[in-house]
C-alpha cells in the first residue's frame, strides 16, 4: 500500500480484516497531505456526519459542521492507531518495478517485495499550472495551492486568482477579506448551493444516489474524472460561496486566462457561456434531487424546492489586464492538480500522466489504485467514499492472491 491517507488507511483496515499481510509505505506521517499540502483556513467540504472510515465515524456534537485540517489529521491518526495500521512513516517510494510474480519496491529506507500493490498516493501530488506561467512578468509573485497558507504570504496589492474551483473561490474570498483587490479568472466550473431545501447539498448527493453512480454508468468518464471541485466551502454558517457571492463581495470576474501578449493578460470573451453551462448543470442536479424527494416523500424532512439566481454577468467583462503596471502583484494558480507517478516503473501510465485502470484494477497483474476521483463511483475520492471501492478491490485482490 503506497500512501497513508484516508484511502490507504481504509484499505489497510479491510486487508487486516481478511488477515492479508501488508505494509503501508508513507513518505511522511499518517495523513501527510492533510498536514503539508493544505492552507491554514481549509475545512473539509463534506460535513462531519459524512466523515467516516470502515468501522469508525465522527461522534462529536456537530454533525453538520466541517472539520478543520487539524481535526482531519486527528481523525485519521486516531483511526490508524485504533486499527493498528502497519505504517512505515518517512518512507519515500523511489521506484516500483515488476519482478517474477510481483513487484519490487525501493524506498528511502529499504526495499520491499510484494505480490500485490495498492497505489493510494492520491490524485493531487503536483499542482497543474498552465504554461502561461512562464510569460508572467517576474515582478509578479506566483503561488500554487501548495505554496499558499494564508493571505499574509502574499505581497500587498492586487491579486489575480486563476480558476473557479473550490480552491479558487475559497482563496479569492479569503484574499479579498485581507484587503487586497481580487480578480478571479473563471473557466469551466461546478456550481452548487451549500444547502438545498434546508439540508447540506452533499447530503442530497448521498441520499439521491448521485454519489453512488458507478463509473461504468457514466457517459464521459474521462471528463467526470477531471471535473474541477465544486464551488463549496465548509464554514460554520454554511454560506454558499458561488460566483454571485464573490461578485457581491466586490471580486471582479473575468474569463478564462487565455494568454499573455505584450505584458497583458488576455481573458476569454466566453465568460457568459461558462456561467450558463454551470447554471444549467446545477439546475439539472436540483431537478434530480427534487425528483428523488418526490418519489421518497416522507423519507426525509426537507423544505420546499428552491431555485437560485442565474450567475450575474458583469455589464462588460474585462478581456485584458496589464501585468506590467503593478496593479496585480500576485497570481494564485487554482488550476488543479495531477498525480505524480514518476516512481512507477511499470508501463501503466498514459501519455497524459494518468494511471490506466478499470475501476481501480490497474493494467498490471496484482496492481490496484484507490482514492482517485470517480475511481468506481462519483464518491470515490471522498473520505467516506473510499470504503465501498476498497471492499470491492480488496475482494479482487484476495481472489488474485488465491490464484
Given the rule CB under 8 A, which residues bind another protein? 255-256, 258-259, 261, 266, 268-270, 273, 276-277, 280, 283-284, 316
The C-alpha atoms of residue 216 and residue 64 are separated, in whole angstroms, by 32
Q: Which is nearer to another protein, 102 or 259 (CB)?
A: 259
Q: To the nearest whole angstrom, how small is the minimum distance from the Cβ of residue 256 to another protein? A: 8
Q: To the nearest whole angstrom, how small is the minimum distance from the Cβ of residue 273 to another protein? A: 5
Cα dist from 170 to 225, 232, 243, 271, whole Å: 22, 8, 11, 20
3 state SS of 187: coil
DSSP state of 81: H
Q: To the nearest whole angstrom, how small is the minimum distance from the Cβ of residue 275 to another protein? A: 9
CB neighbour class for 217 (10 Å; exposed up to 12, middle 13-18, buried from 19)? exposed
First to last CA, the chain: 20
DSSP state of 355: B
Q: To the nearest whole angstrom, how small is the minimum distance from the Cβ of residue 203 to another protein? A: 25
Q: Which is nearer to another protein, 20 or 277 (CB)?
A: 277
Q: Which is nearer to another protein, 60 or 269 (CB)?
A: 269
Q: To the nearest whole angstrom, how small is the minimum distance from the Cβ of residue 280 to another protein? A: 5
Radius of gyration of the chain (CA): 22
The C-alpha atoms of residue 341 and residue 353 are separated, in whole angstroms, by 7
What angle is formed at CA 46 by the lines to CA 294 and CA 288, rounded to 5 degrees?
25
Concatenated DSSP letters of 232-285: ----TT----SHHHHHHHTPEEE--EEEEETTEEEE-S-HHHHHHHHHHHHHHH
Q: Which is nearer to another protein, 153 or 261 (CB)?
A: 261
Least Cα distance to 389 among 403, 399, 374, 400 occurs for: 374
Q: Which is nearer to another protein, 181 or 281 (CB)?
A: 281
Q: To the nearest whole angstrom, how small is the minimum distance from the Cβ of residue 240 to another protein? A: 21
Q: Which is nearer to another protein, 358 or 395 (CB)?
A: 358
Q: To the nearest whole angstrom, how small is the minimum distance from the Cβ of residue 41 to another protein? A: 33
Beta-bridged to residue 330, according to DSSP, are 141, 159
Q: To the nearest whole angstrom, how small is the minimum distance from the Cβ of residue 194 to another protein? A: 23
Q: Which is nearer to another protein, 42 or 186 (CB)?
A: 186
Q: Which is nearer to another protein, 157 or 259 (CB)?
A: 259
Q: To the nearest whole angstrom, how small is the minimum distance from the Cβ of residue 380 to another protein? A: 24
Q: How far is CA 402 from the centre of its chain?
A: 35
Q: Which is nearer to another protein, 27 or 256 (CB)?
A: 256
Q: To the nearest whole angstrom, how small is the minimum distance from the Cβ of residue 197 to another protein? A: 19
Phi, psi angles (nearest 5°) of residue 216: -85, 5
Other C-beta atoms closer than 10 Å to the C-beta of 124 total 22
Q: Which is nearer to another protein, 152 or 216 (CB)?
A: 216
Q: Are strands 361-362 and 357-358 parallel, antiparallel or unpaired?
A: antiparallel
Sequence-distant (6+) residues with CB within 8 A of 81 are none
Q: Are 390 and 14 in contact (CB under 8 A)?
A: yes
Amino acid at each position: 500500500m503506497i500512501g497513508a491517507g484516508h484511502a490507504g488507511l481504509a484499505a489497510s483496515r479491510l486487508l487486516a480484516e481478511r488477515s492479508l499481510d501488508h505494509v503501508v509505505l508513507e513518505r511522511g506521517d499518517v495523513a501527510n497531505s492533510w498536514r503539508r499540502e493544505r492552507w491554514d483556513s481549509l475545512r473539509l467540504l463534506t460535513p462531519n456526519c459524512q466523515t467516516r472510515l470502515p468501522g469508525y465515524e465522527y461522534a462529536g456534537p456537530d454533525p453538520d459542521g466541517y472539520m478543520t485540517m487539524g481535526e482531519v489529521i486527528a481523525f485519521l491518526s486516531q483511526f490508524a492507531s485504533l486499527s493498528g495500521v502497519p505504517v512505515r512513516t518517512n518512507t519515500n517510494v523511489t521506484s516500483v518495478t515488476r519482478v517474477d510474480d510481483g513487484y519490487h519496491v525501493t524506498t528511502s529506507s529499504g526495499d520491499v517485495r510484494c505480490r500485490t500493490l495498492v497505489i493510494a498516493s492520491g490524485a493531487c501530488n503536483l499542482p497543474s499550472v498552465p504554461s502561461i506561467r512562464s510569460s508572467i512578468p517576474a515582478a509578479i509573485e506566483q503561488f500554487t495551492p501548495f505554496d499558499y497558507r494564508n493571505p499574509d504570504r502574499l505581497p500587498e496589492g492586487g491579486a489575480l486568482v486563476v480558476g473557479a474551483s473550490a480552491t479558487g473561490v475559497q482563496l479569492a474570498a479569503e484574499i479579498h477579506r485581507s484587503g487586497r483587490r481580487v480578480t478571479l479568472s473563471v473557466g469551466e466550473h461546478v456550481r452548487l448551493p451549500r444547502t438545498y431545501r434546508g439540508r447540506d447539498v452533499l447530503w442530497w448527493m448521498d441520499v439521491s444516489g448521485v454519489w453512488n453512480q458507478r463509473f461504468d454508468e457514466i457517459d464521459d468518464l474521462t471528463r467526470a474524472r477531471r471535473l474541477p471541485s465544486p464551488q463549496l466551502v465548509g464554514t460554520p454558517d454554511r454560506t454558499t460561496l458561488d460566483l454571485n457571492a464573490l461578485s457581491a463581495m466586490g471580486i471582479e470576474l473575468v474569463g478564462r486566462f487565455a494568454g499573455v501578449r505584450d505584458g497583458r493578460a488576455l481573458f476569454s470573451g466566453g465568460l457568459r457561456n461558462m456561467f450558463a453551462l454551470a447554471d444549467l448543470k446545477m439546475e439539472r442536479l436540483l431537478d434530480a434531487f427534487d425528483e428523488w424527494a418526490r418519489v421518497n416523500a416522507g423519507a426525509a424532512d426537507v423544505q420546499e424546492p428552491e431555485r437560485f439566481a442565474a450567475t450575474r454577468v458583469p455589464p462588460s467583462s474585462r478581456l485584458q489586464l496589464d501585468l506590467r503596471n503593478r496593479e496585480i502583484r500576485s497570481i494564485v494558480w487554482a488550476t488543479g492538480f495531477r498525480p505524480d507517478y514518476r516512481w512507477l516503473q511499470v508501463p501503466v501510465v498514459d501519455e497524459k500522466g494518468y494511471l490506466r485502470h478499470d475501476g481501480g484494477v490497474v493494467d498490471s497483474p496484482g496492481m490496484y489504485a484507490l482514492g482517485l476521483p470517480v475511481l468506481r463511483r462519483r464518491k470515490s475520492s471522498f473520505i467516506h467514499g473510499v470504503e465501498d471501492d476498497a471492499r470491492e478491490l480488496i475482494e479482487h485482490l484476495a481472489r488474485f492472491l488465491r490464484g
